[in-house]
Structure 1
């Protein structure tokens, strides 16, 4: 059952430009069935609220861990044809790309959920593939991936900014201007960012580190609720200075 929480920082509320409504999701991790559910929520809300300009922001980790990475990418690619979508890169997309370039990384990828991605493309690797099997698996994976999937992954962005909001997969490094952030931090950072209470210059909306329920602080919002493990994929809606999580 869906639950709704209205989220409000205690002070210095970030704002979007007038007429802009943003829908944000992150860390879908192959949970195509949950993604479909949230897209129905978005479409119903759009029909009801009729914003002047709506933007959908997806903040990475579309693949691995969950049961159907292939369908997840199909759904997102179809959604991209609407023209109001922003797709950011997550660390799991980087891992996938690295494996395609270097099959020796396959075993490490399998440990972080890559097995489920391979299975969604019709492959069945052994638990501990040897060098020859790794090479054959990666070649078969590359052949199994539709061209549109590879192109979608190639075009992923690192960040998106609108009004007072800054969208990113993992977070930012404290003390470094947003325009000077390094890709490694944007995709992987945890403790230094999560423990910081400083003003980053924008209000950071991110995922990467699962939390039990959407986490709102004065300087950031974490909306990764561990969809593949909990069955809870959070959708965050923003307009003006109001934020709502479903």
Structure 2
């Protein structure tokens, strides 16, 4: 597969020796693109063996695209068999909220929740109440998917790299970051040129291609609409777009 040239993430940020991390951007129901990306990762590991290889999925697995259920099916297997780390995106948080509170339906609907419901075989009628939809979703939601949600993490750090869904609030210690910011923040983080003390790998805000900056890299390339699901391989101080 053709790949872009390697780029140095910064003069300081590095992973531990003999370690490679594959980070995958926002999927949003595109199980087809996820399958292709998993195949590329497996091929890359076979071609370039390394002592420790890990996959970090950056969140927003559901909504907007046609096969959110299929995405979670794939990731749940990857989590068990490949020890993949899956972060919680704001869309997963909203789905979790809806499973607990039916009134969240209207907010979720505005963010592509109907496509997720349809992927589980739930297509609300015009007369269905939010509670009706919630009950139908509970009935259709596999226990394994509930277990998957419980395994989601808000962030993960390895070496000098921090993986989050949306970003971090500048000038706030990492130990004091609000989980809401990690899933939702935009301008305050995106406009910051400061050294955060870690190099941040994130998604949440779509860009045309992997946006590699001095203090962060954005890997959300709007897969559900663009057909491009970005995966980067980080090794040492280099970021390679697969």
Aligned residues: 242
Q: State the alpha-carbon separation in 2 of the partners of residues 107 and 3 from structure 1.
A: 43
Q: 2-side partners of 1:11 and 1:239: how far apart? A: 12
Report the TM-score, using the length of structure 1 for normalisation. 0.95
| Equivalent-residue separation in structure 2 for 1:235 and 1:136 (angstroms) | 38
SS in 2 for 1:82: helix
SS in 1 for 2:122: coil
Aligned to 1:220: 216
Deviations 1:97-142 (A, max 9, x none): 111111111122111000100000011124xx56x52111111101
Residue pair 2:9, 2:237 contacting (<8 A) in 1 also: no
Flag structure 2 segments of 5+ consecutive residues without an equivalent. Answer: none
Distance 1:244-1:156 versus aligned 2 partners, 3 A rule? same
The answer to whether 1:202 aligns with 2:201 is: no
CA contact (8 A) 1:178 1:201 kept: no
1:97 aligns with 2:96: yes
Q: Distance in 2 between matches of 1:10 and 1:239?
A: 10
* CA separation of 1:236 and 1:136: change in aligned 2, threshold 3 A: same
The 5-angstrom pairing of residues 1-246 of structure 1 reads 4-9=3-8, 11-126=10-125, 133-246=129-242
- Match of 1:81, SS state, is helix
Q: Tell me how far 1:191 sits from its aligned partner.
A: 0.2
Unmatched segments (≥5 aa) in structure 1: none
Q: Distance in 1 between matches of 2:6 and 2:102?
A: 43
* Aligned-pair CA distance for 1:82: 2.0
Instruction: Report the TM-score, using the length of structure 2 for normalisation.
Output: 0.96
Give, in whole Å, the separation in 2 of the partners of 1:191 and 1:6: 28
Q: Residues 130-170 of structure 1, C-alpha deviation per residue, up to 9 Å, x if partnerless?
A: 6x521111111011010000111122110100011000000
The answer as to whether partners of 2:9 and 2:239 remain within 8 angstroms in 1 is no
